[in-house]
Amino acid sequence: MILLTGASGYVGGRLLSRLEGSGRPLRCLARRPGHLRSRIAAATEVVAGDLLDPASLDPALRGVRTAYYLVHSMDAQGRFESLDREAARNFARAAARQGVQRIIYLGALGEQRPDLSPHLRSRHEVGDLLRAPGIPVIELRASIVIGSGSLSFEMIRALVERLPVMITPRWVSVTAQPIAIEDLLDYLAAALDRPPGTGGIYEIGGADRVSYGAIMREYARQRGLRRLMIRVPVITPGLSSLWLGLVTPLYARVGRILIESIRHPTVVNDRAALVDFPLRPRGIREAVASALRNEERAFAETRWSDTLARSTPHAGPGAVRIGTRLVDTRRARVAAAPQDAFAPIRRIGGATGWYYANWLWTARGLLDLLAGGIGTRRGRRDPDGLRVGDVVDFWRVEAFEPGRRLRLAAEMKVPGRAWLEFEVSPLDDGTVIQQTAMFDPAGLSGIAYWYALYPVHQLVFAGMLRRIAAAATRHGPGPDAVARVNPIGDEAPRR
């Protein structure tokens, strides 16, 4: 039996899928089990427990052979060091009482020195506390993690995407040894196969030692962005954290904790991991490319209704952001069967037009031609049928599920990439049509483009959906049917 703590976090959530795929018996510890149950396999156990509540840990650790410790309190209110200390001590004592044979702990790189940041000092202290009762601990000390959704990667992404010119503090030149999330997961999984009774501290990192500035330049290169960085050595960690709070998704408090750690080099000095583990991590170029590629795959597999259901209940159109992408979604309920609701969608473009403000679509096509693009002159192959790869004016069919889903990828000139998606879902008393416009802006010019056209998009896309809904009801129960358009957040459709 394996116990996984931190399964709702970034690394733990990725490791959860890896462990479930291995077929080993798995149990997860969660403060709110209900939040985790929708994400786990049927064979995985979830038990309620809190690392700050010692009495709740013995039932969770009973019968466990190996326990993963993937939690920390960096974003907790109050002093995170004391909370981390208490949690680690409680967990180690309970593990010893229940006869746990090994703990696998994810710590942090950083040389032991008097001025070590509180965050890095705490990560090292947690490893010592877990070892205190005598349980073998495999402590994997890592630098920053490169993967879509990781804290460091999202900070780098936000800075590069939003700032063509960056006034950079001294920490941007500090050396790190970033590791791709895939390689980190490989180490965590391989730790299970180490000989029984063995522990040790392993420093792990990618193939390259690079500065944070170099990571930002590599991200910019792969995104096709030009960025100028001007170093200013007088910016303090406090000012840096406030700056990060303005331009990145980080809270200023978490940003300051991060900056205090970033100012220390986090590189591998002990190569024991390369000897004891049969792994060869990738370099920074491959790590960034993999993060962007995996994000692309997750994006392609996303169902926007699921994404929006997880967002704030008051989110309106345009309120959702997925990675770098801006997402504007709206829904309409229609008293029609799904096949009738989808009929006007599959005929979109070409001679049929775009259902609303066709003159604006024509004007957009002319502007595209003037900019050296293809305009709307291509039309479509068939007025009634579609297949993946078909041209629809200045769009191309990227995904098509007959009677259910259509995704169009833009081929007009835009500062980024754009998609338009339609999806129909049955209700007890009709169908819901969901329309989603998605844009992946290329830097600041792309973001400016999105918001400059936002009022026009609100007018055109809302009008388009109303007309599609009306056309759907004409194929449905009759002329007296009513189509009602509901923006996301006002009234979620029944599934």
- Residue 341 phi/psi, 5-degree rounding, is -65, -30
Bridge partner list, 114: none
Q: Are residues 451 and 417 in the same domain?
A: yes
Residue 410, Cα to own-chain centre: how many angstroms? Answer: 23
If asked whether residues 257 and 351 sit together in one domain, one would say no
User: Which tokens belong to 287?
Assistant: 């790590």
Supply the DSSP symbol for 81: H
Q: Are residues 254 and 309 in the same domain?
A: no
Whether 254 and 74 have beta carbons less than 8 Å apart is answered as yes
486 or 137, greater pLDDT: 137
**What mean pLDDT do residues 74-85 have?**
71
Same domain, yes or no: 388 and 416: yes
Q: Per the domain annotation, does 319 fall within a domain?
A: yes
Find residue 395's DSSP bridge partners.
Answer: 392, 410
What is the rounded average pLDDT for all residues in the chain? Answer: 82
Q: What is the DSSP letter of 147?
A: S
Q: 159, 165, 161, 163: which is closest to 415 by C-alpha?
A: 161
Looking at residue 37, what is its pLDDT?
76
How is residue 492 annotated by DSSP?
P
- Give the span between the Cα atoms of 443 and 220, in whole angstroms: 9
As for how many domains the chain has, the answer is: 2
- The DSSP line for 159-205 is HHHH-SEEEE-GGGG-EE--EEHHHHHHHHHHGGGSPTT--EEEEE-
Sequence-separated (6 or more) residues with CB below 8 Å from residue 492 = 309
Asked, for residue 369, whether it belongs to a domain, the answer is yes
Percent of the chain with pLDDT over 90: 43
Query: How confident is the model over 449-471, as pLDDT tens digits?
Result: 888 888 898 899 999 999 999 99
How large a percentage of the chain has pLDDT more than 70?
Answer: 82
Looking at the DSSP assignment, which residues form a beta bridge with residue 457?
Answer: none
pLDDT value for 134: 93
Q: Which of 260, 294, 328 is the last residue of a domain?
A: 294
Same domain (yes/no): 324, 447 = yes
Tokens 């890896």 correspond to 18
**pLDDT value at residue 484:** 42
Band (495; pLDDT cuts 50, 70, 90): very low
Same domain, 335 and 379: yes
Q: Which residue has the higher pLDDT, 292 or 286?
A: 286
For residues 279 and 334, state if they share a domain.
Answer: no
Task: Answer yes or no: is 227 within a domain.
Answer: yes
pLDDT greater than 60 at residue 311:
no
Domain boundary among 268, 294, 320: 294
What does the buried/exposed string (b/e) look like for 122-155 if buried means 16 or more CB atoms within 10 Å of the residue's CB? bbbebbebbbebebbbbbbbbbbbbbbbbbbbbb
Whole-angstrom Cα distance, residue 489 to residue 330? 9
Q: Do 176 and 50 belong to one domain?
A: yes
Residue 358, SS3 per DSSP: helix
Q: What is the mean pLDDT of residues 1-10?
A: 91
* 86-112 pLDDT, tens digit each: 999 999 999 999 999 999 999 998 887
297: amino acid identity, one letter: R
Q: How far apart are the first and last CA of the chain?
A: 37
Give yes or no for a contact between 61 and 98, defined as CB atoms under 8 angstroms apart: yes
Q: Specify which residues 420 forms β-bridges with.
A: 408, 437
State pLDDT tens for residues 429-445. Answer: 889 999 989 888 887 78
Say if 318 falls within a structural domain: yes
pLDDT surpasses 60 at 474: yes
Give the C-alpha separation, 6 to 73, whole Å.
Answer: 11
Query: With 90 as the cut, is the pLDDT of residue 307 above it?
Result: no
Query: Is a pLDDT exceeding 60 seen at residue 190?
Result: yes
**pLDDT value for 494:** 31
Q: What is the reported pTM?
A: 0.68
Statement: residue 31 has pLDDT above 90: no
Confidence of residue 113 (pLDDT cuts 50, 70, 90): confident
**Mean pLDDT over residues 320-347, rounded?**
85
How do residues 366-386 score in pLDDT, each as one tens digit? 888 888 778 877 888 888 889
CATH number at residue 39: 3.40.50.720
Pair of tokens at residue 230: 């001007």
Q: Rounded CA gap, 423 and 407, in Å?
A: 9
Those residues whose C-beta lies under 8 Å from the C-beta of residue 258, and which sit 6 or more positions away, are 74, 119, 151, 152, 155, 241, 244, 250
The contacts of residue 375 (CB under 8 Å, 6+ apart) are: 365, 366, 368, 369, 394, 412
- Tokens read off for 303: 């169902």
In a domain, 494, yes or no: no
Query: Could you say which of 294, 313, 342 is where a domain stops?
Result: 294
- Which CATH number characterizes residue 454's domain? 3.30.530.20
**One domain, residues 20 and 102:** yes
Contact residues for 263 (Cβ-Cβ < 8 A; gap 6+): 117, 170, 171, 174, 237
**Which segment of 66-75, 226-235, 244-253 scores lowest on mean pLDDT?**
244-253
Q: Do 312 and 440 belong to one domain?
A: yes
Burial 276-288 (b: 16+ CB within 10 A, else e): bbeeebbebebbb
* 36 in any annotated domain: yes
Instruction: Please check whether residue 389 is in contact with residue 419, taking contact to mean a CB–CB distance below 8 angstroms.
Output: no
Question: Worst-scoring range by mean pLDDT, 231-245, 263-277, 400-414?
Answer: 231-245
Which of 449, 371, 443 has its CA nearest to residue 411? Answer: 371
| Single-letter residue type at 470 | A
- 493 belongs to a structural domain: no
Q: Which tens digit of pLDDT belongs to each residue from 253-280?
A: 455 566 666 667 889 999 999 999 999 9
Give the lowest-confidence range in 40-44, 50-54, 176-180, 257-261: 257-261
Lowest mean pLDDT among 5-14, 64-73, 238-247, 362-371: 238-247
The confidence score (pLDDT) of residue 475 equals 57
Q: Residue 262 belongs to what H/E stretch?
A: helix 252-262
Same domain, 377 and 458: yes
Q: Which amino acid is at 337?
A: A
Q: What is the mean pLDDT of residues 482-490?
A: 40
Which residue in 390, 395, 408 sits closest to 368, CA to CA? 395
- Give the pLDDT score at 259: 62
Distances in Å between the Cα of 489 and the Cα atoms of 199, 314, 320, 344, 483 are 50, 5, 11, 25, 18
Cβ distance 395 to 420 under 8 Å? yes
* Strand boundaries in 193-260, DSSP class E: 200-204, 210-211, 228-231
Domain that holds residue 139: 2-294
Report residue 486's pLDDT band, with 50, 70 and 90 as the boundaries. very low
Asked whether residue 297 carries a pLDDT value surpassing 90, the answer given is no
- Residue 203 β-bridge partners: 141
Distance CA 422, CA 469 (A): 12
Q: Are residues 118 and 250 in the same domain?
A: yes
| Residue 182, amino acid | E
Q: Which stretches of 304-442 are DSSP H helices?
A: 304-310, 338-346, 358-370
